[in-house]
A and B are shown apart, each in its own frame.
Chain A
Amino acid sequence: MPELRREDVAHVAKLARLIMSDAELDMFTEQLGQVLDHASDMNALDLEGVVATAHPFGLINVVRDDVPRECLDHDVVMAMAPDAENGRFAVPRILGEAP
């Protein structure tokens, strides 16, 4: 299995939307490396032709009749929002200034 490098950890932090200090990057590089080392016992296995299991019972689609039913109260849900405007979630700007 590929070796985990510090720059991999920095890249993963970016993907996961987490900000890491230098000390944290060092710590996670070492600790995640240990877990991945432990997982390398799976390398010795011949898994050719083994089917992957993502779920214990093999999920099937579950459908119900398309009839209106009671749902969560809009005001109750919006009351939990960190910021809301006119009954919608409000967030800081998502695009840069126009050039």
Chain B
Amino acid sequence: MKCARQMALDVQNGDTSAVSVLEESLAQIRSRNEELNVFLYVDEEGARAAASAVDERVARGENVGSLAGVPVALKDNLCQTNIPTTCSSKILEGWRSPYSATVVDRLLAAGAVPVGKTNLDEFAMGSSTENSAFGPTRNPHNTSRVPGGSSGGSAAAVAADMTPLALGSDTGGSIRQPAALCGLIGVKPSYGLVSRYGLIAFASSLDQIGPLTKTVSDAAIALEAIAGHDPLDSTSLPEPSPSLVAHVEDGVAGKRIGVVRELIDGADADVVASVERAVEVLKEAGAAIVELSVPEFRLGLSAYYLIAPAEASSNLARFDGVRYGLRVKADDVTAMMEATRTAGFGEEVKRRIMLGTYALSAGYYDAYYGQALKVRTLTIDAFRRAYREADLLLGATTPSVAFEFGSKTADPMAMYLSDVFTIPSNLSGEPAISVPFGTGEAGLPIGVQLLGPGRSEAQLFAGARVLEIADGRP
């Protein structure tokens, strides 16, 4: 499958039509979806209408946009009108959002063609898609392995050539980790760069929407299209979408790149070897390498697994059977709410709601939630110190390549540890990108991660591009 950039150029130039690009995408979905369980819903009708509209605009000589005719997969926690949004939860089965997420409107405005909704860990809580109420997604590189999560369906859609672009959401690594495990570019933008309007909230102070693609330039095009101020999200940054595509080839000459021990230690040998080769490549490209230790990053996991569940327990209180989604009938309203939530939520969601409720409850608030918020401050301060010595930071995205189904489901803490390298950027609200770089055990993809200070996306894309070229994708 062509990259999104080439696809859009071909559609705009009339070398191909959006409708025929879409049919190719739908054919690939039909051929592989049953095996991989990527899409929960394929909107053939809506996609055909959007593609035809693009072709009509091309025929009228209009400049359709940077994603003209590009099929896009949407993680199913992003609302789109007229089709179901489930969050892979039984509690939202059958629900149709009365509004579309801002990112969906912006994709359409850029000429993209949303083709359907992809599987995720229920309410984006998980690192493998094994927590979906609709069954796990399989990794297209090896179907006995997980695709990562929680945006595992979006990652698998791109890795299996169903669409060249997918959107996911990243609360503790849920874009970058599946991108790493499926051999893709995955971007967690600066907090506030992309509107969260229409993203069903998991942990509002950590959630960000971002792209998963096969190439760095596709990710830059997609992020440019969806970023920028939105009055419908009160945490949206005030400025318009930044210029990113123009900086993809900027390189890293003269940049100081900090190699962070805490973002490497504990990773498998094959992953460490990839990071070390990435260091060499960046050095050869003219970057100055600085060895750094940031011990606070290790504390991030503890803080995260109190802060994220605390926010989730509050956000998910709205699923009570009153206004939308599932209702299990009972004699009084409290019994109805309890029966509905007990039947509607899966085990991991319940675990996090319980953890968060406990951390926020009277008598424990200061010891857990209050403590975690202070550790969050320490993490942010540690980043600030690190960025005095380096322009960007480098580490692994994940401790290992894609793991086997069932290998971590019995031990939640083991699953949580797979987020250890990605969590710090969510706590600080700063951007990070995972880039495929080499392969490891069983020939599976490895991702290395570049992190930067707030609004440094252009530099991250430039760094990622250097690695992409060195990894054989000129």
Contact = CB atoms under 8 A, between A and B. Distances in A.
Interface of A: 1-2, 4, 8-9, 11-13, 15-19, 24, 28, 31-32, 34-36, 38-39, 41-43, 45, 47, 50-57, 59, 62, 64, 72-73, 76-77, 80-83, 89, 91-94, 96
20 contacts: A17-B341, A35-B355, A39-B302, A39-B306, A39-B368, A42-B303, A53-B377, A53-B380, A56-B191, A57-B192, A62-B234, A72-B98, A73-B98, A80-B324, A80-B325, A82-B322, A82-B327, A92-B329, A92-B332, A92-B335
Contacts of B313: 16
A80 to B, nearest CB: 5
Contacts of A35: 305, 355, 412-413, 416
A13 B355 CA distance: 10
A12 B357 contact: yes
A27 to B, nearest CB: 9
Contacts of B337: 17
Interface of B: 95-96, 98-99, 191-192, 205, 231, 234-235, 298-299, 301-303, 305-306, 313, 320-327, 329-339, 341-342, 345, 350-351, 353-355, 357-358, 361, 363-364, 367-368, 370-378, 380, 412-413, 416, 427-430
A32 to B, nearest CB: 6
A34 B96 CA distance: 38
B342 A18 contact: yes
A64 B305 CA distance: 35
Nearest to A48: B374
A57 B233 CA distance: 14
Contact of B429 (A56, A92, A93, A94): A56
Contacts of B98: 72-73, 76-77, 80
Contacts of B334: 17
Query: Which of A16, A43, A76 has most chain B Cβ within 10 Å?
Result: A16
B358 A12 contact: yes
Contact of A18 (B205, B341, B358, B416): B341
Query: Which of A9, A12, A47 has most chain B Cβ within 10 Å?
Result: A12
Contacts of A42: 299, 302-303, 371-372, 375
Contact of B305 (A39, A92, A96): A39
A47 B370 CA distance: 10
Contact of B353 (A16, A53, A59, A77): A16
A57 B326 CA distance: 36
Contacts of A11: 361
Contact of B354 (A32, A47, A50, A83): A32
Given A16-B313, A17-B337, A45-B375, A38 B99 contact: no
A63 B205 CA distance: 19
A19 B339 contact: yes
A2 B331 CA distance: 37
Contacts of B332: 92-94, 96
Nearest to A16: B357
